[in-house]
Structure 1
Amino acid sequence: MNENPLVQLTLAYPRPAERQLLADLLEIDPDLAGFTTLHAEGHGHGFARASVQEQVSGRAERALLLAVLPEDSARRLVEGLRMRLPSPEIAYWMSPIIEFGRIVE
Protein backbone atom coordinates (compact mmCIF):
# COMPACT_ATOMS: atom_id res chain seq x y z
CA MET A 1 0.00 0.00 0.00
CA ASN A 2 1.26 3.46 -0.91
CA GLU A 3 2.33 5.39 2.20
CA ASN A 4 1.48 8.72 0.55
CA PRO A 5 -1.37 8.09 -1.89
CA LEU A 6 -2.54 10.58 -4.47
CA VAL A 7 -5.68 12.56 -3.69
CA GLN A 8 -7.69 15.16 -5.51
CA LEU A 9 -7.87 18.29 -3.40
CA THR A 10 -10.92 20.38 -4.24
CA LEU A 11 -11.28 23.90 -2.89
CA ALA A 12 -14.55 25.83 -3.24
CA TYR A 13 -14.30 29.56 -2.57
CA PRO A 14 -15.81 32.93 -3.49
CA ARG A 15 -14.61 34.13 -6.90
CA PRO A 16 -13.25 37.44 -5.53
CA ALA A 17 -10.88 35.44 -3.27
CA GLU A 18 -9.25 33.62 -6.19
CA ARG A 19 -6.24 35.87 -6.78
CA GLN A 20 -5.20 35.86 -3.10
CA LEU A 21 -5.93 32.15 -2.67
CA LEU A 22 -3.79 31.18 -5.68
CA ALA A 23 -0.95 33.47 -4.59
CA ASP A 24 -1.03 31.93 -1.11
CA LEU A 25 -1.11 28.37 -2.46
CA LEU A 26 1.97 29.02 -4.57
CA GLU A 27 3.77 30.59 -1.61
CA ILE A 28 2.88 27.62 0.60
CA ASP A 29 4.06 25.14 -2.06
CA PRO A 30 6.16 26.77 -4.82
CA ASP A 31 6.57 23.31 -6.41
CA LEU A 32 2.83 22.73 -6.77
CA ALA A 33 2.82 20.69 -9.97
CA GLY A 34 -0.47 21.86 -11.41
CA PHE A 35 -4.10 22.62 -10.81
CA THR A 36 -7.28 23.56 -12.62
CA THR A 37 -9.68 26.35 -11.68
CA LEU A 38 -13.32 26.49 -12.72
CA HIS A 39 -16.14 28.94 -12.24
CA ALA A 40 -19.14 27.35 -10.57
CA GLU A 41 -22.41 28.11 -8.84
CA GLY A 42 -23.65 26.38 -5.74
CA HIS A 43 -26.12 26.26 -2.92
CA GLY A 44 -25.25 24.78 0.44
CA HIS A 45 -23.97 25.38 3.93
CA GLY A 46 -23.41 29.07 4.55
CA PHE A 47 -25.87 30.22 1.88
CA ALA A 48 -27.21 32.82 4.34
CA ARG A 49 -24.03 34.82 3.61
CA ALA A 50 -24.88 34.97 -0.11
CA SER A 51 -25.54 38.33 -1.77
CA VAL A 52 -29.12 39.44 -2.40
CA GLN A 53 -28.70 38.63 -6.10
CA GLU A 54 -27.41 35.14 -5.26
CA GLN A 55 -30.28 34.57 -2.82
CA VAL A 56 -32.81 35.54 -5.51
CA SER A 57 -31.23 33.14 -8.04
CA GLY A 58 -30.81 30.43 -5.40
CA ARG A 59 -27.13 29.96 -6.24
CA ALA A 60 -23.90 31.60 -5.10
CA GLU A 61 -21.05 32.33 -7.51
CA ARG A 62 -18.05 30.26 -6.54
CA ALA A 63 -14.80 29.03 -7.98
CA LEU A 64 -13.30 25.56 -7.69
CA LEU A 65 -9.67 24.55 -7.66
CA LEU A 66 -8.82 20.93 -8.47
CA ALA A 67 -5.36 19.52 -7.85
CA VAL A 68 -4.05 15.94 -7.86
CA LEU A 69 -1.15 15.56 -5.47
CA PRO A 70 0.21 13.38 -2.65
CA GLU A 71 -2.03 13.37 0.40
CA ASP A 72 0.58 14.86 2.74
CA SER A 73 1.08 17.78 0.32
CA ALA A 74 -2.68 18.37 0.15
CA ARG A 75 -2.89 18.42 3.95
CA ARG A 76 -0.01 20.94 4.13
CA LEU A 77 -1.79 23.19 1.63
CA VAL A 78 -5.04 23.08 3.61
CA GLU A 79 -3.23 23.83 6.87
CA GLY A 80 -1.34 26.69 5.22
CA LEU A 81 -4.60 28.17 3.95
CA ARG A 82 -6.11 27.89 7.43
CA MET A 83 -3.28 30.06 8.70
CA ARG A 84 -3.25 32.59 5.81
CA LEU A 85 -6.93 32.79 4.80
CA PRO A 86 -9.05 31.71 7.76
CA SER A 87 -12.54 31.93 6.24
CA PRO A 88 -15.74 29.91 6.56
CA GLU A 89 -16.28 30.82 2.87
CA ILE A 90 -13.54 28.39 1.76
CA ALA A 91 -14.55 24.72 1.74
CA TYR A 92 -12.34 21.77 0.82
CA TRP A 93 -12.48 18.04 0.38
CA MET A 94 -10.06 15.30 -0.62
CA SER A 95 -10.92 12.30 -2.76
CA PRO A 96 -8.74 9.25 -3.38
CA ILE A 97 -7.24 8.87 -6.85
CA ILE A 98 -7.39 5.32 -8.17
CA GLU A 99 -5.24 6.02 -11.20
CA PHE A 100 -3.60 9.08 -12.74
CA GLY A 101 -1.72 9.54 -15.98
CA ARG A 102 -1.74 10.91 -19.50
CA ILE A 103 -3.54 9.30 -22.41
CA VAL A 104 -0.25 9.34 -24.34
CA GLU A 105 3.16 9.82 -22.71
Structure 2
Amino acid sequence: MTSEAVCLTLIAARQLRDELFDYLSEQADLVPGFTASDAAGHGANVRLQSPEERVKGHADQVLVRIVLPNAAAERLLERLKVSFAGTNLVYWVMPVADFGIIE
Protein backbone atom coordinates (compact mmCIF):
# COMPACT_ATOMS: atom_id res chain seq x y z
CA MET A 1 0.00 0.00 0.00
CA THR A 2 1.22 3.51 -0.67
CA SER A 3 2.55 5.96 1.91
CA GLU A 4 -0.81 7.76 1.84
CA ALA A 5 -2.49 4.88 3.66
CA VAL A 6 -4.20 5.74 6.94
CA CYS A 7 -6.01 3.93 9.70
CA LEU A 8 -9.43 5.40 10.38
CA THR A 9 -10.61 4.52 13.89
CA LEU A 10 -14.27 4.87 14.81
CA ILE A 11 -15.80 4.51 18.26
CA ALA A 12 -19.57 4.25 18.65
CA ALA A 13 -22.09 3.29 21.30
CA ARG A 14 -22.60 -0.48 21.24
CA GLN A 15 -26.28 -0.06 20.31
CA LEU A 16 -25.08 1.39 16.96
CA ARG A 17 -22.96 -1.69 16.22
CA ASP A 18 -25.22 -3.42 13.68
CA GLU A 19 -26.21 -0.16 11.97
CA LEU A 20 -22.57 0.93 11.69
CA PHE A 21 -21.40 -2.47 10.42
CA ASP A 22 -24.17 -2.56 7.82
CA TYR A 23 -23.38 0.99 6.75
CA LEU A 24 -19.66 0.32 6.38
CA SER A 25 -20.37 -2.87 4.41
CA GLU A 26 -22.50 -0.82 2.00
CA GLN A 27 -19.59 1.59 1.37
CA ALA A 28 -17.71 -0.96 -0.76
CA ASP A 29 -16.32 1.78 -3.02
CA LEU A 30 -14.32 3.14 -0.05
CA VAL A 31 -14.13 0.43 2.62
CA PRO A 32 -12.09 -2.66 1.63
CA GLY A 33 -12.89 -4.29 4.99
CA PHE A 34 -12.66 -3.46 8.67
CA THR A 35 -11.79 -4.89 12.05
CA ALA A 36 -14.04 -4.39 15.06
CA SER A 37 -13.83 -5.09 18.76
CA ASP A 38 -15.72 -4.23 21.91
CA ALA A 39 -14.46 -1.31 23.96
CA ALA A 40 -15.15 0.39 27.27
CA GLY A 41 -15.47 4.18 27.06
CA HIS A 42 -14.24 6.29 29.97
CA GLY A 43 -14.07 10.05 30.46
CA ALA A 44 -16.02 13.22 31.02
CA ASN A 45 -17.40 13.30 27.46
CA VAL A 46 -18.59 9.67 27.45
CA ARG A 47 -22.34 9.21 27.78
CA LEU A 48 -23.37 6.44 30.17
CA GLN A 49 -26.65 5.40 28.54
CA SER A 50 -28.00 2.64 30.76
CA PRO A 51 -28.20 1.93 34.49
CA GLU A 52 -25.76 -0.94 33.93
CA GLU A 53 -23.21 1.43 32.39
CA ARG A 54 -23.61 3.85 35.30
CA VAL A 55 -22.96 1.03 37.77
CA LYS A 56 -19.93 -0.22 35.78
CA GLY A 57 -18.65 3.34 35.32
CA HIS A 58 -17.98 2.99 31.60
CA ALA A 59 -19.91 3.00 28.34
CA ASP A 60 -20.20 -0.16 26.25
CA GLN A 61 -18.80 0.77 22.87
CA VAL A 62 -17.58 -0.72 19.62
CA LEU A 63 -14.20 0.17 18.11
CA VAL A 64 -13.72 -0.11 14.34
CA ARG A 65 -10.44 0.19 12.44
CA ILE A 66 -10.21 0.60 8.68
CA VAL A 67 -6.95 0.83 6.68
CA LEU A 68 -7.55 2.73 3.45
CA PRO A 69 -6.12 5.54 1.32
CA ASN A 70 -6.30 8.97 2.94
CA ALA A 71 -8.60 10.35 0.20
CA ALA A 72 -11.04 7.47 0.78
CA ALA A 73 -10.96 8.12 4.53
CA GLU A 74 -11.85 11.77 3.92
CA ARG A 75 -14.80 10.81 1.68
CA LEU A 76 -15.99 8.18 4.15
CA LEU A 77 -15.88 10.70 7.00
CA GLU A 78 -17.98 13.12 4.95
CA ARG A 79 -20.61 10.39 4.49
CA LEU A 80 -20.48 9.33 8.14
CA LYS A 81 -20.99 12.92 9.31
CA VAL A 82 -24.26 13.00 7.39
CA SER A 83 -25.49 9.48 8.11
CA PHE A 84 -24.50 9.38 11.79
CA ALA A 85 -25.13 13.01 12.75
CA GLY A 86 -26.06 13.34 16.43
CA THR A 87 -24.71 9.91 17.45
CA ASN A 88 -21.45 11.11 19.07
CA LEU A 89 -19.44 8.88 16.74
CA VAL A 90 -15.79 9.47 17.67
CA TYR A 91 -13.05 9.18 15.05
CA TRP A 92 -9.40 9.77 14.42
CA VAL A 93 -7.06 9.19 11.50
CA MET A 94 -3.45 8.04 11.79
CA PRO A 95 -0.85 7.38 9.09
CA VAL A 96 0.05 3.77 8.33
CA ALA A 97 3.76 3.19 7.67
CA ASP A 98 3.23 -0.25 6.14
CA PHE A 99 0.35 -2.61 5.51
CA GLY A 100 0.13 -6.06 4.00
CA ILE A 101 -1.04 -9.63 4.32
CA ILE A 102 1.28 -12.50 5.20
CA GLU A 103 -0.12 -15.56 3.44
TM over 0.5: yes
Aligned counterparts, 1:33-52, within 5 A = 33-47=32-46, 49-50=47-48, 51-52=50-51
Q: In the alignment, does 2:92 pair up with 1:93?
A: yes
In structure 2, the residue matched to 1:62 is 61
The offset of 1:89, in angstroms, is: 2.3
CA deviations on 1:23-47 (whole Å, 9 max, x unpaired) are 22233x2232111110111202422
Structure 1 vs Structure 2 CA RMSD: 1.8
TM-score by length of 2: 0.84
**Structure 1 letter corresponding to 2:37:** L
How far the C-alpha of 1:77 sits from its partner, in A, is 1.0
Confirm or deny: 8 A CA contact 1:40 1:61 kept in the other structure.
Answer: yes
Unaligned segments of structure 1, at least 5 residues: none
Give how far 1:88 is off: 4.3
Identity %, equivalent residues: 37
4+ residue runs over 4 A deviation: none
